[in-house]
């Protein structure tokens, strides 16, 4: 009827390029411009991510980290999207984007030190990797991404920003405000939502009444796309398209990568309280690495040597991570007074001196 | 190869213990790094714990079902892995169970430290250093604290310093005469410093003198003062005083004429209630008081204070005398409290106690009148046409002309005078 | 010398900064085309264009959040909150990010952001338009807080705030937007306005105040002087970092302190001053530090706001109290 829009008419289909059985979807419609070395690189980073992720969980269980938020099962969604970025593009992560960090070459322990309580922002160089610090308050980083992207636009720089967040974040006001600002300002930003099914224990059905997350983009005047989040190639192509769109000055895109969080929300969470073994097994069968391996082996791109090389590289990274984390001491306590302001105020200076005096007994 | 311990970590942001559910290895097993070794149940979840060491299981601790505290050793492993080199003790993430009260870090005793006498005289700062309570004490005792030498830490003026300064200023001649006839010299106010060579000196006005000054100004410039006076033959009064002095109740007490004057005043107030009242400018009313709280203006070292005899009408002569003496003493000692210094309904200022015949006293705001009995001295008087020598006293009354007119004030004063001249009449009206 | 209002002082300061540094951008609701509801950003969009003077959507968290993003990129955003009571949706961005980003990133990603907020009452406004919210910001480590009370200070302090590499909350006393002063522009502060301003020298009592209350205190002091009381009045300007030196020198001289704010006293910044003064120099005090401020009630309806806001007599009562302690 004229004047009405009806949510039940919205398509809930997802883009898919690589099927769970490891074969390409015929007539998927995308230009797959990845060469063999690209495919191998994507695979390498996915393996690295999985190994580092597993080791991080182990380290937490061994008392070396206070908590850890595993990315297990989301390697496809993260590495696929990350691979589409150009080197100058910035990433504004939440707190689960290990895949993005590994793609950008961040030293794993530099991220994990955040969870160890060494320093809130971790220890990596944000500008060097064009990766903002992990952001704990939900969805707030989406606004930072929009501001940064707008800055780049004002400068005429060829930089696009990708804002990462989960399905729960789409309920927060800052998500809405970020999309709205980005739409109005035509900011060169990609909103990348990894819909992994749960916000801790709360399933998507309790988070929104919308038929998909992708459709929310329409409310802000830009396109949305839903993609199989365990299809690394699908994630790659839709992100690539969104980045191109932004670079052409056409504004934002909202990508909903439908995936699954195979681990708990964090190591302090007991996922058995709210989901079943069946569900877990269902998603294990949809593992992003397994299907990609099958595809690459069939294409002759993944040799046994290369596979071993990636495995051993992953294990080495895990070992190096363990060495750097286990028994690592805290930073110099004086640092907590160091970067509060550019310069300490007289009152803060006095407190610092009292603090240092108090430390002498310890 | 060495034996390494693995202690149960805090698995979930502040947990304190876990229950052993299932051991996945046994003593003697060869295990790999990260191999699951045990399943435990915490408050939050069932957790599989991976081994932090590769090697041989030496000993496991805790039977199935046992509750183990965070921080307790659960397994030892013979391993070739070296202990990590770290300056601090092994980090145990999470803090484990409550181990009882926290312990001190620093080894020092706290508590009040006795003042050490400084090796040399500390430099006296321009403005005295003192804690607020000590400053208040100085004010109450009428001591200028900036002039007191401080013997405390860093030249601080202590409580003792202030008291000592006050004592040294209480010179001889502090006793106020109770005999109306005695002349008592005015004592020196505390703040004057003798500087003989200067043409002038400036005395800073503080505390009591300041508040007396403010009160005087307030009274003098809001109340229209008129004074009337009357000379009376006080011979009978003096005779009554002598007789009262011989009473057993007067033992250990010096009866002055003052309590008798007060009694006469009370009788006169009952007859002329307007004298015992107050002009309320805000409500446009004259408030006539039917209680009798007599203020007795008293000269002290700190300045003029007016202690109040509450419900004077309920006291007999001896009680009056005693109460007046008590109040005067505590005023001079500096120990008198606010409740004894407030609430008067009319005031007497005994100018005779320092030898004056009369005066034009300033009303004790916000009362309606103030009575000034003068010195009782031998003067010529006319009795039955003859000049004789009598005890003569002048009484002045300053009154609020808004409340009382001259005639009413005069009638009051005359009546009072009659009672003074013939104190026997008090019998009829008490 | 031309006479300008406090609002004009702010307007000129923005213009001055935007002319000298093309990284300075102004953003907020109605700041561009309309020039701001108090005209503080008047005509800036005509001069500098829509990219540098941005009319944002109606979303305070969004304004500060995108401001943060712009600052990470390298711009110097001056974000406007339209009224004090509408700052609250932006609190998460201000407290969790604006204040902590420098520290979180060990100085690698500093945020040179100014958040301008008109604050305070006395303008007959409806609810939520008269808040004094400085305590929340002075309590948050990582933020700087400043508030001008005169047109010349408005210019100079806003320039200082924009040029400061750290995040600054700039509180504008809205009831004083229209006061005038003869000012030669530009007012170039060489750091002297980082110190508190001694408005009036005196010896009997120190009165500390800031923002809208400065004028109230000046009026009270004129009366006090007639009564023979000599008051020293200090306009704090920067609440953080605080010019504790000037404050303590004055307290040492007078021995008595009164703090006057519009803000309600409990948990206020004046409570912090009282505590700090007594900790720093108890021995100089003849009396406790007395705070004069609003009552601990939600800001009342305009019809009775003059009963809530400290007036001349309440200031004089406090002065009288400390003098006669």
CATH number of the structural domain spanning residue A178: 3.40.50.970
Looking up tokens 């003697």 gives: B28
CB contact at 8 A, A307 and A316: no
- How far apart are the C-alpha atoms of B267 and B273, rounded to whole Å? 10
Condensed to tens digits (0 to 9), the pLDDT of residues A232-256 reads: 999 999 999 999 999 999 999 999 9
Average pLDDT, chain A: 95
- How far apart are the C-alpha atoms of C212 and B74, rounded to whole Å? 65
Can you give the pLDDT at residue B189? 43
Can you give the pLDDT at residue C319? 95
Give whole-number Cα distances, C237 to A70, A342, C187, in Å: 48, 20, 15
Residue B2 tokens read as: 């060495």
Give the Cα-Cα-Cα angle C314, C315, C321 (nearest 5 degrees). Answer: 90
Determine, yes or no, domain membership for A3.
no
Q: Sorting pLDDT into bands at 50, 70 and 90, what band is B114? A: low
Residue B270 at interface with chain C, using a CB cutoff of 8 Å: no
Query: Are A130 and A201 contained in the same domain?
Result: yes
Q: Sorting pLDDT into bands at 50, 70 and 90, what band is B88? A: very low
- How far apart are the C-alpha atoms of C2 and A64, rounded to whole Å? 66
Query: Are A140 and A109 contained in the same domain?
Result: yes
Determine, yes or no, domain membership for A4.
no
Average pLDDT, chain B: 83
CATH number of the structural domain spanning residue C77: 3.40.50.970
Over range B253-274, report the average pLDDT.
94
Which of C148, C182, C216 is a domain's end point? C182
pLDDT of B174 higher than 50? no
Can you give the pLDDT at residue B200? 77
Can you give the pLDDT at residue C188? 87
Helix, strand, coil shares, percent, chain A, to 5 = 50, 10, 40
Over range C231-250, report the average pLDDT.
97
CB contact at 8 A, B50 and B57: no
Over range C135-144, report the average pLDDT.
98
Determine, yes or no, domain membership for A1.
no
CB contact at 8 A, C27 and C58: no
Can you give the pLDDT at residue B127? 78
> Looking at per-residue confidence, does B422 or B133 come out higher?
B422
Query: Are C53 and C118 contained in the same domain?
Result: yes
Determine, yes or no, domain membership for C106.
yes
- How far apart are the C-alpha atoms of C323 and C257, rounded to whole Å? 10
Can you give the pLDDT at residue C179? 93
CB contact at 8 A, A109 and A124: no
Q: Sorting pLDDT into bands at 50, 70 and 90, what band is A20? A: very high
| Dihedral sign of CA atoms A48, A51, A52, A54 in order | positive
Q: Sorting pLDDT into bands at 50, 70 and 90, what band is B85? A: low
Nearest to A345 among C25, C164, C241 (CB): C241
Query: Are C167 and C96 contained in the same domain?
Result: yes
Can you give the pLDDT at residue A226? 98
Query: Are A134 and A93 contained in the same domain?
Result: yes
Query: Are C130 and C159 contained in the same domain?
Result: yes
Can you give the pLDDT at residue A360? 80
Give whole-number Cα distances, B198 to B192, B193, B203, C79, C200, in Å: 13, 11, 13, 67, 34
Determine, yes or no, domain membership for A352.
yes
Over range C162-178, report the average pLDDT.
97
User: Which residue is closest to A274 within chain B, CA to CA?
Assistant: B45
Query: Are C98 and C158 contained in the same domain?
Result: yes
> Looking at per-residue confidence, does C148 or B209 come out higher?
C148
Over range C298-309, report the average pLDDT.
91
Least confident of B91-105, B181-195, B326-340, C136-150: B181-195
Query: Are C207 and C263 contained in the same domain?
Result: yes
Can you give the pLDDT at residue A82? 98
Residue B129 at interface with chain C, using a CB cutoff of 8 Å: yes
Shortest distance between the Cα of A347 and any Cα of chain B, in A, equals 24
Q: Write the DSSP string, C88-137.
A: GGGHIIIIIIITTHHHHTTTSS----EEEEEE---S---TTSS---HHHH
CB contact at 8 A, A274 and A201: yes
Residue B85 at interface with chain A, using a CB cutoff of 8 Å: yes
CB contact at 8 A, C237 and C191: no
Write phi, then psi, for C112 (nearest 5 degrees).
-95, 80
- Phi and psi based region of residue B104 (left: phi greater than 0; alpha: psi -120 to 50; beta: remaining): beta
Per the CB < 8 Å rule, is A178 touching C96? no
> Looking at per-residue confidence, does A66 or C142 come out higher?
C142
Residues of chain A positioned with their CB less than 8 A from the CB of B8: 63
Helix axes A288-299, A75-84, angle to 10 degrees: 60
> Looking at per-residue confidence, does A292 or B10 come out higher?
A292
Q: Sorting pLDDT into bands at 50, 70 and 90, what band is B185? A: very low
- How far apart are the C-alpha atoms of A289 and A47, rounded to whole Å? 8
Per the CB < 8 Å rule, is A148 touching C105? no
Query: Are A108 and A180 contained in the same domain?
Result: yes
Query: Are A290 and A263 contained in the same domain?
Result: yes
| H runs (alpha helix) in chain C | 6-20, 44-48, 60-73, 91, 101-104, 134-138, 151-163, 213-226, 244-254, 269-281, 305-308, 312-323
pLDDT of B101 higher than 80? no
CB contact at 8 A, C23 and C73: no
Per the CB < 8 Å rule, is A63 touching B92? yes
Per the CB < 8 Å rule, is C283 touching B127? no
Query: Are A348 and A317 contained in the same domain?
Result: no
Q: Sorting pLDDT into bands at 50, 70 and 90, what band is B109? A: confident
Can you give the pLDDT at residue B250? 87
Can you give the pLDDT at residue B188? 41
Neighbours of B, requiring at least 3 CB pairs below 8 Å, are: A, C
Residue A305 tokens read as: 């040597």
Over range B210-218, report the average pLDDT.
82
Determine, yes or no, domain membership for A143.
yes
Query: Are A152 and A128 contained in the same domain?
Result: yes
Domain range for A343: 333-362
Condensed to tens digits (0 to 9), the pLDDT of residues B285-332 reads: 899 999 999 999 988 877 788 999 999 999 999 999 999 999 999 888
Determine, yes or no, domain membership for C67.
yes
Active site residues of A: 261, 265, 274
* Percent of chain A predicted with pLDDT > 90: 91
User: Which residue is closest to C73 within chain A, CA to CA?
Assistant: A148
- How far apart are the C-alpha atoms of A62 and A326, rounded to whole Å? 9
* Percent of chain A predicted with pLDDT > 70: 99
Query: Are A239 and A190 contained in the same domain?
Result: yes
Least confident of A7-16, A160-169, A267-276, B176-185: B176-185
Give whole-number Cα distances, C36 to B50, C83, C132, C231, in Å: 61, 11, 20, 38
Can you give the pLDDT at residue A324? 96
Per the CB < 8 Å rule, is A264 touching B6? no
Determine, yes or no, domain membership for A227.
yes
Q: Sorting pLDDT into bands at 50, 70 and 90, what band is B154? A: confident
Can you give the pLDDT at residue B95? 58
- How far apart are the C-alpha atoms of A210 and A126, rounded to whole Å? 35
Cis peptide before A213 (omega within 30 of 0): no
In angstroms, what is the C-alpha Rg of chain A? Answer: 21
Number of domains in chain C: 2
Can you give the pLDDT at residue B195? 52
User: Which residue is closest to C252 within chain B, CA to CA?
Assistant: B127
Per the CB < 8 Å rule, is B13 touching A326? no
Can you give the pLDDT at residue B123? 57
Residue B87 at interface with chain A, using a CB cutoff of 8 Å: yes
Can you give the pLDDT at residue B428? 86
Over range C261-274, report the average pLDDT.
97
Can you give the pLDDT at residue B423? 92
Helix, strand, coil shares, percent, chain C, to 5 = 40, 20, 40
Per the CB < 8 Å rule, is C286 touching B132? yes
* Percent of chain B predicted with pLDDT > 70: 83
| Dihedral sign of CA atoms B163, B169, B173, B178 in order | negative
Query: Are C21 and C110 contained in the same domain?
Result: yes
Query: Are A39 and A74 contained in the same domain?
Result: yes
pTM of the model: 0.73
Per the CB < 8 Å rule, is A347 touching C241? yes
Cβ contacts of residue C121 below 8 Å, gap of 6+?
C129, C130, C131, C132, C175, C212, C262, C299, C305, C308, C309
Number of domains in chain A: 2
Domain range for C230: 195-323
Can you give the pLDDT at residue A121? 93
Determine, yes or no, domain membership for C190.
no
Within B184-258, strands assigned E span 225-233
Cβ contacts of residue A308 below 8 Å, gap of 6+?
none
Query: Are C10 and C131 contained in the same domain?
Result: yes
Name the most confidently modeled range: A118-122, B180-184, C144-148. Answer: C144-148
Query: Are A172 and A53 contained in the same domain?
Result: yes
Nearest to C282 among B127, B131, B136 (CB): B131
Determine, yes or no, domain membership for A2.
no
Q: Quick check: helix, strand or coil at residue A256?
A: strand
Determine, yes or no, domain membership for C187.
no
CB contact at 8 A, B44 and B15: yes
Condensed to tens digits (0 to 9), the pLDDT of residues A21-53 reads: 999 999 999 999 999 999 999 999 999 999 999
pLDDT of B93 higher than 50? no
Residues of chain B positioned with their CB less than 8 A from the CB of C287: 132
Residue B230 tokens read as: 């009357």
CB contact at 8 A, A268 and B44: yes
Over range C227-250, report the average pLDDT.
97
In angstroms, what is the C-alpha Rg of chain C? Answer: 19
Q: Chains A, C: CB contacts under 8 A, how many?
A: 141
Residues of chain B positioned with their CB less than 8 A from the CB of C252: 127
Per the CB < 8 Å rule, is B130 touching C283? yes
Query: Are C26 and C175 contained in the same domain?
Result: yes
Residue C62 at interface with chain A, using a CB cutoff of 8 Å: yes
Query: Are C132 and C31 contained in the same domain?
Result: yes
pLDDT of C246 higher than 90? yes
Can you give the pLDDT at residue B179? 33
pLDDT of C37 higher than 50? yes
CATH number of the structural domain spanning residue C223: 3.40.50.920
Condensed to tens digits (0 to 9), the pLDDT of residues C64-81 reads: 999 999 999 999 999 999
Q: The sheet that has B2-7: what strands, in order across it?
A: B2-7, B73-79, B55-60, B30-31
Query: Are C239 and C295 contained in the same domain?
Result: yes
Write phi, then psi, for B373 (nearest 5 degrees).
-75, 135
Q: Sorting pLDDT into bands at 50, 70 and 90, what band is A362? A: low
Query: Are A319 and A347 contained in the same domain?
Result: no
Over range C167-183, report the average pLDDT.
96
pLDDT of B122 higher than 80? no
Looking up tokens 């750091």 gives: C191
Condensed to tens digits (0 to 9), the pLDDT of residues A158-196 reads: 999 999 999 999 999 999 999 999 999 999 999 999 999
Neighbours of C, requiring at least 3 CB pairs below 8 Å, are: A, B
Can you give the pLDDT at residue B97? 63
Determine, yes or no, domain membership for A300.
yes
Condensed to tens digits (0 to 9), the pLDDT of residues B186-202 reads: 444 444 445 555 677 77
Q: Sorting pLDDT into bands at 50, 70 and 90, what band is B182? A: very low
Query: Are C240 and C269 contained in the same domain?
Result: yes
Residues of chain B positioned with their CB less than 8 A from the CB of C283: 129-131, 156
Query: Are C61 and C134 contained in the same domain?
Result: yes
Shortest distance between the Cα of C70 and any Cα of chain A, in A, equals 5
Pairing status of strand B294-300 against strand B277-280: unpaired
A-contacting residues of C 214-243, CB under 8 Å? 240-242
Can you give the pLDDT at residue B148? 87
Query: Are A253 and A152 contained in the same domain?
Result: yes
Which of C147, C182, C217 is a domain's end point? C182
Neighbour-count burial for C244-277, b at 16+ CB within 10 Å, e otherwise: bebbbbbbbbbbbbbbbbbbbbeebbbbbbbebb
């Amino acid at each position: 009827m004229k004047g009405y829009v009806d949510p039940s008419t919205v398509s809930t289909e997802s883009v898919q390029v690589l099927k769970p059985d490891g074969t390409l979807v015929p007539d998927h419609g995308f230009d797959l411009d990845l060469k063999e070395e690209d495919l191998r690189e994507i695979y390498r980073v996915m393996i690295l991510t999985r190994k580092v992720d597993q080791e991080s969980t182990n380290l937490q269980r061994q008392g070396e980290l206070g908590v850890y938020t595993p990315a297990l099962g989301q390697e496809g969604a993260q590495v696929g999207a990350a691979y589409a970025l150009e080197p100058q593009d910035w990433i504004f992560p939440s707190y689960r984007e290990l895949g993005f960090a590994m793609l950008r070459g961040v030293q794993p322990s530099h991220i994990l030190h955040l969870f160890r309580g060494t320093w809130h922002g971790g220890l990596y160089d944000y500008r060097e990797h064009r990766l903002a610090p992990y952001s704990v308050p939900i969805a707030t980083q989406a606004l930072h991404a929009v501001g940064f992207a707008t800055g780049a636009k004002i400068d005429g720089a060829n930089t696009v920003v990708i804002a990462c967040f989960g399905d729960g974040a789409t309920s927060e006001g800052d998500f809405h405000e970020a999309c709205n600002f980005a739409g109005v300002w035509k900011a060169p930003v990609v909103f990348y939502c990894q819909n992994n099914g749960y916000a801790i224990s709360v399933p998507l059905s309790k988070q929104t009444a919308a038929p998909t997350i992708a459709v929310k983009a329409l409310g802000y005047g830009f396109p949305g796309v839903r993609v199989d989040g365990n299809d690394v190639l699908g994630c790659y192509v839709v992100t690539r398209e969104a980045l191109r769109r932004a670079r052409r000055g056409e504004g934002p895109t909202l990508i909903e990568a439908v995936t699954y969080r195979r681990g708990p929300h964090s190591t302090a969470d007991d996922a058995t309280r709210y989901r079943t073994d069946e569900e877990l097994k269902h998603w294990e069968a949809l593992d992003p690495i397994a299907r990609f391996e099958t595809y690459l082996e069939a294409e002759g791109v993944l040799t046994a040597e290369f596979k071993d090389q990636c495995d051993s590289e992953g294990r080495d990274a895990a070992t190096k991570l363990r060495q750097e984390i286990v028994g690592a001491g805290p930073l110099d306590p004086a640092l907590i007074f160091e970067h509060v302001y550019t310069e300490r105020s007289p009152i803060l200076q006095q407190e610092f001196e009292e603090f240092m005096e108090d430390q002498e007994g310890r | 190869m060495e034996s390494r311990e693995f202690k149960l970590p805090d698995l979930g942001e502040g947990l304190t213990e876990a229950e052993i559910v299932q051991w996945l290895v046994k003593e003697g097993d060869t295990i790999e790094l990260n191999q699951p070794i045990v399943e435990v149940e915490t408050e939050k979840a069932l957790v599989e714990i991976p081994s932090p060491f590769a090697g041989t299981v030496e000993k496991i601790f805790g039977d199935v079902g046992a509750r183990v505290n965070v921080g307790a050793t659960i397994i030892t492993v013979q391993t070739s892995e070296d202990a990590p080199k770290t300056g601090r003790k092994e980090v145990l993430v999470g803090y484990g169970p409550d181990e009882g009260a926290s312990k001190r870090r620093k080894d020092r005793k706290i508590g009040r430290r006795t003042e050490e006498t400084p090796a040399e005289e500390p430099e006296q700062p321009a403005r005295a250093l003192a804690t607020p309570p000590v400053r208040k004490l100085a004010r109450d005792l009428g001591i200028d604290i900036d002039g007191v030498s401080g013997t405390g830490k860093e030249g601080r003026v202590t409580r003792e310093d202030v008291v000592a300064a006050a004592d040294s200023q209480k010179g001889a001649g502090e006793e106020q005469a109770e005999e109306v006839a005695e002349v008592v010299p005015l004592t020196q106010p505390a703040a004057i410093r003798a500087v003989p060579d200067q043409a002038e000196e400036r005395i800073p006005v503080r505390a009591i003198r300041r508040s007396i000054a403010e009160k005087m100004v307030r009274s003098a410039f809001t109340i229209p003062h008129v004074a009337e006076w009357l000379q009376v033959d006080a011979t009978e009064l003096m005779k009554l005083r002598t007789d009262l002095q011989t009473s057993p109740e007067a033992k250990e007490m010096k009866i002055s004429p003052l309590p008798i004057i007060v009694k006469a005043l009370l009788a006169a107030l009952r007859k002329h209630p307007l004298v015992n009242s107050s002009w309320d400018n805000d409500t446009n009313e004259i408030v006539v008081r039917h209680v009798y709280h007599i203020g007795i203006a008293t000269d002290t070292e700190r300045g003029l204070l007016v202690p109040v005899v509450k419900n004077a009408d309920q006291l007999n002569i001896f009680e009056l005398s005693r109460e007046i003496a008590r109040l005067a003493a505590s005023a001079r000692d500096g120990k008198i409290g606010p409740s004894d210094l407030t609430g008067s309904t009319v005031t007497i200022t005994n100018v005779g106690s320092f030898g004056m015949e009369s005066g034009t006293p300033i009303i004790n705001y916000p009362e309606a009148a103030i009575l000034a009995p003068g010195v009782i001295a031998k003067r010529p008087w006319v009795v039955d046409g003859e000049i004789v020598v009598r005890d003569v006293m002048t009484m002045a009354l300053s009154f609020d002309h808004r409340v009382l007119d001259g005639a009413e004030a005069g009638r009051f004063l005359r009546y009072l005078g009659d009672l003074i001249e013939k104190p026997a009449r008090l019998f009829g009206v008490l | 010398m031309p006479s300008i209002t406090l609002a004009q002082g702010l307007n000129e300061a923005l213009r001055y900064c935007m002319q000298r540094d093309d990284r300075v951008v102004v953003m907020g609701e109605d700041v561009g085309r309309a020039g701001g509801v108090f005209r503080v950003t008047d005509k800036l969009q005509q001069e500098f264009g829509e990219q540098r003077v941005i009319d944002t959507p109606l979303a305070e968290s969004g304004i500060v959040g995108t401001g943060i993003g712009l600052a990470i990129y390298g711009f110097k955003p001056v974000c406007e909150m339209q009224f004090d009571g509408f700052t609250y949706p932006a609190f998460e961005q201000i407290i969790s990010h604006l204040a902590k980003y420098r520290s979180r990133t060990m100085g690698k990603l500093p945020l040179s952001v100014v958040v301008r907020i008109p604050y305070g009452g006395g303008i007959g406004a409806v609810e939520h338009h008269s808040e004094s919210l400085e305590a929340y910001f002075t309590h948050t480590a990582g933020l700087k807080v400043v508030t001008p009370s005169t047109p010349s200070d408005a210019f100079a302090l806003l320039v200082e705030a924009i040029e400061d590499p750290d995040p600054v909350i700039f509180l504008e006393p809205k009831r004083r937007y229209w006061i005038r002063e003869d000012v030669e522009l530009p007012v170039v502060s060489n750091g002297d306005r980082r110190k508190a301003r001694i408005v009036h020298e005196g010896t009997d009592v120190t009165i500390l105040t800031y923002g809208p209350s400065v004028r109230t205190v000046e009026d009270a002091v004129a009366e006090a002087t007639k009564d023979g009381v000599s008051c020293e009045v200090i306009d704090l300007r920067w609440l953080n970092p605080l010019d504790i030196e000037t404050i303590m020198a004055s307290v040492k001289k007078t021995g008595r302190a009164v703090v006057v704010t519009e803000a309600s006293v409990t948990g206020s910044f004046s409570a912090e001053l009282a505590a700090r003064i007594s900790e720093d120099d108890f021995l100089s005090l003849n009396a406790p530090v007395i705070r004069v401020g609003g009552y601990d009630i939600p800001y009342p309806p305009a019809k009775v706001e003059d009963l809530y806001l400290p007036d001349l007599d309440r200031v004089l009562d406090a002065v009288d109290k400390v003098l006669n302690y």
